[in-house]
Amino acid sequence: MEGKNITLKNKISQTRFALLIVLFTFAYAHPVNLTKMSWDVTKNEFKLRFVSYNLNKPFNSEVDAENFNKQKIFTYTKKHLKIKGCKLIPDKIKISKEIVVDEYFKTECEPKNRYKIHFDMFFDFDKTQRGILRIVDKNESVYTFSPSKENIEVQINSNKTHFKDFVKIGIMHILTGYDHLTFLLMLMLPLILFSESFFKSFIYIIEVATAFTVSHSITLSLSVFNIINPPENLIETLIAFTIFLTAFNNLTHYVSFKKEWLLAFFFGFIHGFGFANALKELNLQTSDFAKLVFGFNIGVEIGQFLVVLAVLPILYFLIKRFKKLYFILSVIGGIFGLLWMIDRVTRLGFMPF
């Protein structure tokens, strides 16, 4: 009897250890946060979009739709966004969905073809922050900022399409897409649990990821080229539903893990529309549009591959050692999928991500 008690205690300790490792991993896997910027040179307008909770740190207080100081936000922005040869004149601030801040400026610039831009908003306390700047003149171009790249020089009326920048945007989108990452995790779990070896598990995941890539690439292209345009909120709700169904399948095994590529393939059509919605936010109008879409899609695939490389070894070790973790993570994923569904149907906005 005493031996059984010791064994039970060991199992409990092992389970607690596994959960702590998982919590530690997710706690420090901080997502990338984006500030989206648009500079319409022809209209002398500059716009920024970011989430309000980023302002809590520099102001040491909560910033929400009903309680914020516009002048402080404008002052903070002008301190961390500088265009040499241009003056930024505050225009207005709007907050939508209670947390999304849109900041508008008018620009007065010296007449020249090149401008040096400095951007480091929120970089001092969050190294995962990134800035994406779209410049509209006779053509369009997109640039990215990061803590290691705070200064860029832009050329107005250039013909540069910045394929590499769109690859980076695709990578950042998948790293900030909590729902897409949760879906990917739900797909990975049974491929880890039932695989004969780590190598087999990796091969299964690559097969599933390939099926997902093929289908989401189709709908992404159909949507961004305005062939099929389903309502954005419907797609976001359906994406949440795919997460719930995949998590549910992990618990019921209705579709065996060897046929899980079918789930990835069919659900990929829905996720492709979601990727397209993110790309459409940039409002691109350029002769190299197809090239930039391809770059974005390549970035999404690279982002997925990086996530698999980072997470697979840890999950494989933990799930093979503590099989109950498979059940726990599947339940958590299903709950998140259900909450996202409810939030997106009702539009209550209670989910913070």
pLDDT band, residue 156 (cuts 50/70/90): confident
In this prediction, residue 287 carries a pLDDT of 57
- In the chain, how many domains are there? 2
Give the angle 30-32-33 at the CA atoms, nearest 5°: 115
Residue 16 in domain: no
CA nearest neighbour of 73 among 96, 105, 43, 98: 105
Is pLDDT at 243 greater than 70 in this prediction? yes
Q: Which of 67-71, 274-278, 338-342 has the highest mean pLDDT?
A: 338-342
Q: What percent of the chain has pLDDT over 70?
A: 83
Q: Regarding predicted confidence, which is higher, 5 or 240?
A: 240
The residue among 128, 160, 192 that closes a domain is 160
In this prediction, residue 161 carries a pLDDT of 56
Q: Regarding predicted confidence, which is higher, 275 or 112?
A: 275
Q: What is the DSSP letter of 326?
A: H
In this prediction, residue 18 carries a pLDDT of 46
Q: Tell me the C-alpha distance between 350 and 268, whole Å.
A: 26
Is pLDDT at 207 greater than 80 in this prediction? yes
Whether residues 188 and 299 fall in one domain: yes
Residue 318 in domain: yes
For the stretch 23-43, pLDDT in tens is 434 333 334 478 999 998 888
Whether residues 341 and 217 fall in one domain: yes
Domain range for 60 is: 33-160
In this prediction, residue 97 carries a pLDDT of 65
Whether residues 214 and 307 fall in one domain: yes
* Both tokens assigned to 330: 């599947």
Residue 20 in domain: no
Is pLDDT at 335 greater than 50 in this prediction? yes
Whether residues 83 and 221 fall in one domain: no
Whether residues 138 and 204 fall in one domain: no
Residue 10 in domain: no
Whether residues 150 and 184 fall in one domain: no
Is pLDDT at 236 greater than 60 in this prediction? yes
Polymer length in residues for the chain: 353
Residue 37 in domain: yes
pTM for this prediction: 0.64
Sheet with 81-83: strands ordered across:
81-83, 114-119, 151-155
Is pLDDT at 153 greater than 70 in this prediction? yes
Residue 166 in domain: no
Whether residues 132 and 269 fall in one domain: no
Is pLDDT at 71 greater than 90 in this prediction? no
Is pLDDT at 6 greater than 90 in this prediction? no
- Contact, 143 vs 108, CB < 8 A? no
Is pLDDT at 10 greater than 90 in this prediction? no
In this prediction, residue 98 carries a pLDDT of 63
Q: Point out the least confidently predicted range of 138-142, 188-192, 247-251.
A: 138-142
pLDDT band, residue 66 (cuts 50/70/90): low
Whether residues 288 and 139 fall in one domain: no
- Alpha-carbon torsion (207, 297, 167, 121), positive or negative: negative
Whether residues 202 and 296 fall in one domain: yes
Mean pLDDT of 9-30: 43
Q: List, in order, residues 6 or more apart from 56 with CB less than 8 Å away.
A: 62, 63
SS3 120: coil
Whether residues 320 and 216 fall in one domain: yes
Amino acid, single-letter form, for residue 111: P
Whether residues 316 and 200 fall in one domain: yes
The residue among 111, 137, 160 that closes a domain is 160
Q: Point out the least confidently predicted range of 30-34, 187-191, 202-206.
A: 30-34
Residue 2 in domain: no
Q: List, in order, residues 6 or more apart from 72 with CB less than 8 Å away.
A: 59
Distances (CA, A) of 207 to 263, 288, 300: 12, 31, 16
The residue among 160, 184, 208 that closes a domain is 160
Whether residues 206 and 311 fall in one domain: yes
Mean pLDDT for the chain overall: 83
